[in-house]
């Protein structure tokens, strides 16, 4: 049986650095013909990304992908109303029913990135969908697809026409896929395996990222971008109202395969592979993103790297023990 490592199982060895200021460090990353100042993408989930998130994350240098759990008209409206400031807009589609018509309408409304968004991306329906999308959409449209967990899947999706690929199955904060199905792979391991690909598809680490340290590890292991759900949940720009609770203000965050999400968007429930939760309300997403950017830059400086590419070339991972993992987080004891 192969071993597979999670974010918490590893650390990156600090190295000599001649970087005198973090302003010398670029954390920009390329997706197709666009360069993003921040290698962060917001997840296409109905408690994470609609117009306000696309605009806010776009202004901070990242990218938002509008979720597909709505009518074509509504999603088109969300794409249209997120226009602003050279902001690139992404929108998700499925692989069944109206997905081709939906994708064409989204592109007509200004989406430049179409994300084929399914739980198990290494699937014949994704192959067919990518082929059909390629044949009807302008060649300037960037096709993102996923999710996958293995190098074979990464290579196949690339060969089927995906320009970027979401890597990570079952790691997300509100995922229960592994409990329900017994399948999955720690995101960090999937990223490291997929990064061995000789294809040039962009690699997006997706699911289970809880800190800027996890982002640095994902980028060092070979990701070009990280996709975030829970770390952006609870901010002003996520859909949904602030809920007053005795523990303070909260907002909803739920897996798209949770019972609650399925019954809202599909009217019925099949395999439940996610959970619904509330998370603390956290104010403007720009503050959260700025903090992450500072953490990522600082991470690069510990490896003496001025860019994500340099980080990938230089980073040396070590495995830590359980005691090491305890030591790695604040552990002061109350006296």
Applying CB under 6 A, the residues found at the interface with ligand XMP are 43, 45, 147, 170, 172-175, 177, 206-209, 227-231, 255-258, 273-274
CB of 72 to ligand XMP, least distance (A): 21
270: its two tokens: 């099949």
CB of 123 to ligand XMP, least distance (A): 15
Torsional sign, CA 151, 42, 128, 169:
positive
State the DSSP H helix or E strand holding residue 65, giving kind and residue range, or none if neither.
Answer: strand 63-66
Nearer to ligand XMP by Cβ, of 27 and 279: the residue is 279
The C-alpha atoms of residue 145 and residue 115 are separated, in whole angstroms, by: 5
Match 């909260």 to its residue by tokens.
Answer: 250
Among candidate residues 68, 279, 255, 269, the one with its CA nearest the CA of residue 175:
255
The residue whose Cβ lies closest to ligand XMP is 274
Q: How far is CA 302 from the centre of its chain?
A: 24
Query: The sheet that has 248-254: what strands, in order across it?
Result: 243-245, 248-254, 276-280
Residue of 175, 187, 235, 238 with catalytic role:
175
CB of 269 to ligand XMP, least distance (A): 12
Residue of 49, 60, 115, 177 with catalytic role:
177
* Residue 177 annotated in active site: yes
Say if residues 148 and 134 touch (Cβ distance below 8 Å): no
CB of 91 to ligand XMP, least distance (A): 14
Length of the chain measured in residues: 335
* Residue 60 annotated in active site: no
Nearer to ligand XMP by Cβ, of 104 and 177: the residue is 177
Nearer to ligand XMP by Cβ, of 183 and 316: the residue is 183
Nearer to ligand XMP by Cβ, of 104 and 190: the residue is 190
Catalytic residues: 175, 177
């Amino acid at each position: 049986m192969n071993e597979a490592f999670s974010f918490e199982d590893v650390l990156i060895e600090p190295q000599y650095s001649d970087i005198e200021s973090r302003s010398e460090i670029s954390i920009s990353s390329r997706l197709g013909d666009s360069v993003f100042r921040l290698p962060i993408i917001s997840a296409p989930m109905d408690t994470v990304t609609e117009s306000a998130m696309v605009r806010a994350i776009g202004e901070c240098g990242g990218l938002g992908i509008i979720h597909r759990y709505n009518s074509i008209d509504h999603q088109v409206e969300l794409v249209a109303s997120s226009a602003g400031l050279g902001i690139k807009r992404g929108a998700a589609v499925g692989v069944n029913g109206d997905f081709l018509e939906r994708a064409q309408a989204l592109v007509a409304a200004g989406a430049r990135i179409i994300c084929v968004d399914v739980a198990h991306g290494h699937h014949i329906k994704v192959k067919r969908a990518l082929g059909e999308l390629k044949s009807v959409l302008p060649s300037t449209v960037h096709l993102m697809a996923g999710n996958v967990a293995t190098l074979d899947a990464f290579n196949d999706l690339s060969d089927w026409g995906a320009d970027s690929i979401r890597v990570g199955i079952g790691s997300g904060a509100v995922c229960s896929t592994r409990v329900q199905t017994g399948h999955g792979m720690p995101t960090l391991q999937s990223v490291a395996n997929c990064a061995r690909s000789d294809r040039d598809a962009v690699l997006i680490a997706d699911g289970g990222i809880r800190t800027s340290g996890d982002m640095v590890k994902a980028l060092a292991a070979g990701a070009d971008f990280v996709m975030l759900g829970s770390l952006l949940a609870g901010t002003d720009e996520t859909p949904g109202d602030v809920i007053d609770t005795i523990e303070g203000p909260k907002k909803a965050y739920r897996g798209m395969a949770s019972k609650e999400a399925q019954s809202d968007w599909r009217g019925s429930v099949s395999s439940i592979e996610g959970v619904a939760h509330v998370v603390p309300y956290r104010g403007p997403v720009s503050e959260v993103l700025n903090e992450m950017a500072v953490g990522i830059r600082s991470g690069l400086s510990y490896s003496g790297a001025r860019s994500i590419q340099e980080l990938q070339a230089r980073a040396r991972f070590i495995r830590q023990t359980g005691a090491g993992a305890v030591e790695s987080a604040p552990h002061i004891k109350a006296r």
